[in-house]
Copies of this chain bind each other. A is one copy, B any other.
Amino acid sequence: MRNEAFLNTALACLPTPKQTLVPAVRCLRFEKTEDGIRAGETERKPLKKGDRLCFDFGGHQVGYLSLKLGAVGSHPDAPAWIRLQFAEQPIELFERAEDYRGWISTGWIQTEQLHVDLLPCTLRLPRRYAFRYVQLEVLDVSSKYALTVEEAVCTAVSSAEDAGLTPLGSGDALLDRMDAVACRTLHNCMQRVFEDGPKRDRRLWLGDLRLQALASCETYRNPDMVKGCLYLFAALPREDGLLSAAIFLEPEPEADDTYLPDYSMLFVPALLDYYEAGGDLQTLRELWPTALRQLELANAHLKDGVFPDCDRLGWCFIDWSLELNKQAALMGVYLYCLQAGERIAALLADPVRSVLEARWEAGAEAARARFWDETAGCFVSGETRQISWASQIWMVLGGVLPKEEADALMKKMEQTEAVGIVTPYLYHHYVQALLDLGEREKALQVLRRYWGGMVERGADTFWELYDPENPEASPYGGTIVNSYCHAWSCGPAYFLRKYGPDCFFSKDMLS
């Protein structure tokens, strides 16, 4: 299924990323010690077999590398054979693609082995990389010459324009830094579409898009890009109208065959957010049938008023956790999206509004009846009656509990043993739930502790995954496949700017 009109609208709205030349600022030498990784500045010396040189581009870049290479000694009489390793974080330089044994495709690892037949030359790598550091290792030259690197330049690309971005200026150093890091994260994920991460998967994901769109409204403001992305999803539904979780742009726009029910439904609030930011009624009207279709399809899956235990419905995202039971959380997402649907129906004076209202009423009641555990004092999920943060967060966002009860639940959870939060994505929804409940101080505390933790660990951009208890671990079995610039973690820019010092956080909450 392919709606050509929607596709044309989409493609016309998508921006062309702009280029900026960013030269490397220095050369570093990293050492792994018991206390972690230490960096020291080094000189650029001619390189023989086995020698390494690591360039620091001063901050996280997304773009194309070019190296001006030369030789000292005799005329090079054999090709220079080099390995390049691109790293968003220094820790990646201490791992090798060959040693990675996890399930993520090693095709994502940003390493190249190249032959340079002719020196001097300017080596322009054709692929785009996400990195702050580039390590060049000479696999071999000949005994008659040594390789020199005269210049290392990144042609950085993004469709976000920094010129129009004013700093947060909260006066709180950590918050200002968190905002800047979040903006850079978003900036580097804004390419032709909003990519989840410029290192991996470089793809437009629906749930991720929603958070990026929110942050971009408060920062780089590119409503056309959001519109284009919404139309892309709407242009490429499954035969039954279900939206894919992700879209490939090349060689032709095509829907991923991954379908995540929560992601599909989040198209509804994403559309509402877009309308509310700019008042584009035509788009709201044109995409509303697509949005409504997601709610209809979800409704058809209900059994006795709730979703069956998630395994039976197909995989569902919620959070990057294999142990998490997602039944209750998905119900919360559904209720949350029904509310957004009601609001759109109201704006368009669509009589379906009353149907959606009735469904929300019935759904909320069924959710309380099925998932609330009186003894535990919280929501449980699945046959094992699992207690998780995910269930509570989405039930609160879905409006299942009155404000006071929801507030009490969130406080109670801090003392309850529960399946925790793995990603900045779910953390984002946690902070949103706290803010919706008016828990400004708690929300700020979570922001400081979680995103601030990444900043303290040297983040230039926010990460796909961060476990404060074990910051160097990779759930993928190797940090070289981690994405250290992942837009679903750009929340701080959204929260600090939308609910910022002047309108939400009180001045005395700033340190």
Query: Which residues of A line the B interface, CB within 8 A?
Result: 74-75, 77-81, 103-109, 112-113, 115, 117-118, 120-121, 127, 139-143, 200-201, 203, 248, 250-251, 254, 256-257
Contacts of A141 in B (CB 8 A): 105, 107
Q: 16 A-B contacts, Cβ less than 8 Å apart?
A: A74-B256, A74-B257, A77-B201, A78-B105, A78-B107, A78-B108, A78-B200, A78-B201, A79-B105, A81-B105, A107-B139, A107-B140, A107-B141, A107-B142, A113-B113, A115-B127
Are A106 and B81 in touch, CB under 8 angstroms? yes
CA distance A109 to B79 in the complex (A): 9
Q: Is the CB of B105 within 8 A of A75?
A: no
A79, A80, A109, A200 interface centre (most CB from chain B within 10 Å):
A79
**Which residue of the partner chain B has the closest CB to A105?**
B78
Check if B120 sits within 8 Å of A115, measured CB to CB: no
Max chain B Cβ within 10 angstroms of own Cβ: one of A74, A77, A118, A139: A77
In the bound complex, CA of A112 to CA of B112 (Å)? 9
Minimum distance in angstroms from A244 CB to a CB of chain B: 10
Q: In the complex, what distance in Å separates the CA atom of A224 from the CA atom of B109?
A: 50
A140 close to B106 (CB less than 8 A): yes
CA distance A147 to B499 in the complex (A): 49
**Chain B residues closer than 8 Å to A140, beta-carbon distance:** 105-107
A117: which of B103, B127, B257 is its contact (CB, 8 Å)? B127
Main secondary structure of the interface of A (DSSP, over half): loop
Which of chain B's residues have a CB closer than 8 A to the CB of A80? 107
A254 engages B107 (CB within 8 Å): no
Q: What chain B residues lie within 8 Å of A109 (beta carbons)?
A: 81
* Residues A103 and B143 in contact in the complex (CB < 8 Å), given A108-B78, A115-B127, A248-B75: yes
- Assess the B118–A75 pair: CB atoms within 8 A: no
Give the residue of B113, B127, B256 whose beta carbon is less than 8 angstroms from that of A112: B113
A80 to chain B: closest residue by CB: B107
Give the docked Cα–Cα distance between A142 and B248 (Å).
Answer: 15
- Which 8 A-B pairs have CB atoms at the shortest separation, nearest pair first? A78-B105, A79-B107, A81-B107, A105-B142, A106-B140, A78-B107, A113-B113, A107-B140
Tell me, in angstroms, the Cα distance from A112 to B117 when the chains sit together. 13
B106 in contact with A257 (CB, 8 Å): no
Using A77-B256, A78-B108 as known contacts, list a sample of 10 further A-B pairs with CB atoms less than 8 Å apart, ordered by residue number in A.
A77-B203, A77-B248, A78-B105, A78-B107, A105-B143, A106-B139, A107-B115, A107-B141, A112-B113, A118-B251
